[in-house]
């Protein structure tokens, strides 16, 4: 029997940097909430067996309506409670996913606020992750990168740009291995984690990289939202 591939959609953010009362993933664009776009793509993908969503209970009804239209294959399995930071939200999701997916499958972690996820990127991530503990799409740095030790007041050193990459999503991990890597960070260290792949690297997991997709940007600012709305209006 083939192992399960579970998509864990993170939708617990408050979107405060956007300057809106509504979290960015629930703002409508092109006639549907932003979260609906990644749900549609993930649900339709033949290699994704289940969808799991981290979201505050106050948004469950709205997400339920999105699922009625976007989860055409009925892959949604349940909600998990958001944590105090992004990584703790992921850990809560992993705890719930293990109840039905076991330990031998893969979890694909994606942000609800990244609506331009493509089916091809999902396929590339799952294919490249096979045989490894995990995978991260990454983009090479285009700008010169400097190190500052006084919060940007002066330059301390220069980094080799060819060795520096920006992590993207979706990231893919073996469920049990990644769960254990996160569990080791409890109760306090998990609050220091900023990126999904950090716990994997800290625990020595075998993580490979593939080229990311520049079009798969995260909506963080009002400018990002405007950019996405323009893309939707153009139908591209």
Q: Which long-range contacts (CB under 8 A, 24 or more apart) does 180-185 make?
A: 181/205, 182/87, 182/90, 182/91, 182/94, 183/91, 185/87
pLDDT surpassing 90 at residue 85: yes
Q: What is the pLDDT of residue 107?
A: 98
Take residue 21 and report the two structure tokens written for it.
Answer: 């009362």
- One DSSP character per residue, 145-159 reads -EE-SSSSSS--EE-
Give the E-state strand segments of the chain in sequence order: 5-10, 28-29, 32-33, 50-54, 76-80, 106-111, 134-140, 146-147, 157-158, 165-167, 171-174, 207-211
Q: What is the pLDDT of residue 15?
A: 55
What whole-number distance in Å separates Cα of residue 220 and Cα of residue 30? 18
Q: Is the pTM of this model over 0.75?
A: yes
Q: What is the pLDDT of residue 216?
A: 95
Quick check: 35 and 11 in contact, CB under 8 A? yes
Buried b (16+ CB within 10 A) or exposed e, 1-31: eeebbbbbbbbbbebeebeeeebbbbbebee
The per-residue pLDDT for range 92-141, each reduced to its tens digit, is 999 999 999 988 899 999 999 999 999 999 999 999 999 999 999 999 98
The per-residue pLDDT for range 44-74, each reduced to its tens digit, is 999 999 999 999 999 999 999 999 999 989 9
Q: What is the pLDDT of residue 16?
A: 55
> How many residues are listed for the chain in this entry?
236
Residue 33 three-state SS = strand
pLDDT surpassing 70 at residue 236: no
């Amino acid at each position: 029997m083939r192992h399960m591939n579970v998509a864990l959609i993170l939708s617990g953010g408050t979107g405060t940097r956007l300057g809106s009362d509504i979290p960015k993933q629930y703002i409508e664009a092109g006639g549907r909430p932003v979260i609906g776009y990644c749900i549609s793509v993930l649900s339709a993908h033949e290699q994704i067996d289940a969808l799991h969503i981290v979201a505050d209970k106050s948004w469950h009804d709205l997400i339920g309506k999105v699922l009625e239209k976007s989860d055409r294959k009925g892959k949604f399995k349940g909600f998990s409670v958001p944590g105090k930071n992004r990584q703790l939200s992921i850990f809560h999701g992993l705890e719930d996913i293990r109840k039905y997916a076991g330990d031998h499958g893969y979890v694909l972690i994606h942000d609800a606020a990244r609506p331009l996820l493509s089916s091809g990127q999902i396929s590339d991530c799952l294919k490249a992750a096979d045989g490894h503990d995990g995978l991260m799409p990454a983009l090479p740095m285009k700008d010169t990168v400097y190190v500052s030790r006084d919060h940007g007041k002066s330059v301390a050193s220069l980094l080799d740009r060819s060795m520096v990459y920006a992590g993207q999503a979706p990231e893919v991990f073996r469920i049990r291995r990644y769960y254990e890597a996160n569990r080791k960070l409890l109760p306090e260290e998990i609050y220091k984690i900023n990126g999904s792949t950090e716990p994997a690297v800290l625990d020595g997991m075998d993580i490979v990289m593939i080229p990311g997709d520049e079009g798969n940007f995260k909506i963080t600012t009002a400018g990002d939202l405007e950019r996405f709305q323009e893309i939707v209006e153009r139908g591209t």
